[in-house]
């Protein structure tokens, strides 16, 4: 037996719960965009060092677009602090300063590139040859699953 009087209560409960869930989902989605931008910039640098210019461009553009959305969400305070701290690299959060979003993205790209290229140019005191650098970058590109980012 269905009670008609309880239907408005159920509808009201869903309308109260759904927006909270939607906001939480959106906050997490934005934090994922920040992580995706960082990873795409790292992989773009590895693709460049691997002489894979098509992947370098694809990954850079993906990272740039994700980064723009992420920074806009941070500025609009659409991301919960717990999503920022658990989903976005800490160093990236420290780089969210500057006059424009493009300036911030440039800082983020440089830091992600430095991170990705550690161990590519030299190991310890040994400077790698061009061939060793290319090989190391290709290896890291595959270990990071870069081919999957943005697809």
CA angle 142, 144, 146 (to 5 degrees): 70
Render each residue's pLDDT in the chain as its tens digit; 151 residues.
444 444 344 334 434 444 444 455 699 999 999 999 999 999 999 999 999 999 999 999 999 999 999 999 999 999 999 999 998 999 999 999 999 999 999 999 999 999 999 999 999 999 999 999 999 999 999 999 999 999 8
Parent domain of 54: 4-148
Domain count, the chain: 1
Say which DSSP state 123 is in.
E
């Amino acid at each position: 037996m269905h009670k008609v009087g309880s239907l408005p209560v159920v509808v009201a409960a869903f309308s109260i719960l759904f927006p909270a869930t939607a906001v939480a989902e959106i906050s997490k989605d934005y934090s994922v965009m920040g992580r995706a931008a960082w990873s795409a910039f790292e992989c773009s640098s590895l693709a460049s060092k691997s002489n894979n210019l098509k992947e370098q461009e694809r990954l850079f553009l993906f990272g740039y677009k994700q980064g723009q959305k992420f920074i806009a969400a941070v500025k609009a305070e659409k991301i919960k602090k717990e999503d920022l701290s658990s989903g976005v690299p800490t160093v990236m959060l420290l780089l969210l300063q500057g006059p424009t979003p493009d300036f911030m993205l440039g800082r983020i790209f440089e830091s992600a590139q430095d991170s990705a290229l550690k161990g590519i140019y030299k190991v310890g005191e040994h400077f790698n040859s061009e061939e060793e650098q290319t090989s190391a970058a290709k290896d890291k590109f595959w270990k990071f699953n870069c081919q999957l980012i943005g697809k």
